[in-house]
Copies of this chain bind each other. A is one copy, B any other.
Amino acid sequence: MTDVLQLLRNHRSIRKFTTEPIGDAMLQSIVEAGQAASTSSYIQAVSVVRVRQAKQRSAFAELAGGQPYIETAAEFLVFCADLHRNRNRVEAASDNHADYSWVEQFTAATVDVALFAQNVVIAAESLGLGCCYIGGIRNAPDRVTELLELPELVYPVFGLCLGYPDQNPDTKPRLPVASVLHQDRYLSPQVHKELLDQYDTNVKEYYIKRTKGKLSFTWSEQMAKQVQNQKRPFMESYLKKQGFMIK
């Protein structure tokens, strides 16, 4: 079944979609594939909100920093870490207060969501769909919480646009495997540096070739640009307000 490896390696984010809808049965089937992913101690800490209304879609496109494909994709799903369900059931079953505010639980729930979502993406791509994760919804977690009426102990991790692709972008060069797959212990600084120097050269060549010389930067330069500003400084207080990571 090496076509699966091929499918995985061919992944690129799709940001332009045809108008063809996704049937309810197909969507359900894709979400079920997501549910089949592993879950930490069976907590199943995932909720997915399917956003259909045009007004809601516009609000999301805007809050995510102007990503118009959120409006045009056949489906837009918001993946949430959800420990609300668990707490509710535990408190109803046992009459005890159930504590879900540890950093550990935040981490496990976030991992659960990502494992689930990646299965959704693979399932969707295997059916000819294209996808694009939207981390930009974390620009305005309060607003998302309000729009989707998320209760305590639920937070939006990322969105996902889904639809039939109307573009065919390149895959982007990844880090050398040797710099990612360490043997027995973390790679020595010198070896790591050599591998990344080479990678920087490759990324620069990729951009020059792709844009006919208009763009030319290394991976390290891109990373440097990214950290010039504060990174969503409101996330910690937002998460605490939702009941996460209080301890």
A residues bordering B, Cβ < 8 Å? 1-5, 7-11, 13, 27-29, 31-33, 35-38, 40-44, 46-53, 56, 85-86, 88-90, 92-94, 96, 98-100, 102-105, 107-108, 110-111, 113-115, 117-119, 121-123, 126-127, 133, 135, 138, 147-151, 154, 157-158, 171-172, 174-175, 177, 179-187, 189, 192-193, 196, 200, 218-224, 226-227, 230-233, 235-236, 239, 245, 247
Contact = CB atoms under 8 A, between A and B. Distances in A.
Contacts of A5: 29, 33, 123, 126-127
Contacts of A154: 186
Contacts of A233: 102, 104, 247
A195 to B, nearest CB: 10
Contacts of A186: 47, 49, 148-151, 154
13 contacts: A1-B7, A9-B33, A9-B36, A40-B133, A43-B223, A44-B180, A48-B180, A50-B184, A52-B183, A52-B184, A56-B184, A89-B196, A114-B118
Contact of A175 (B9, B44, B100): B44
Contacts of A44: 174-175, 180
A148 B185 contact: yes
Given A52-B183, A123-B4, A196-B85, A42 B235 contact: no
A119 B117 CA distance: 11
Identical subunits present: 2
A50 B181 contact: yes
A85 B33 contact: no
Pick from A48, A53, A179, A223 the residue with the most CB of B within 10 Å.
A223
Contacts of A103: 232, 235-236, 239, 245
Given A13-B38, A38-B11, A102-B232, A50 B182 contact: yes
Nearest to A39: B174
Given A111-B157, A148-B184, 6 more contacts: A8-B37, A90-B224, A99-B230, A105-B231, A110-B114, A115-B117
A184 B47 contact: no
Contacts of A107: 110, 138, 157, 235
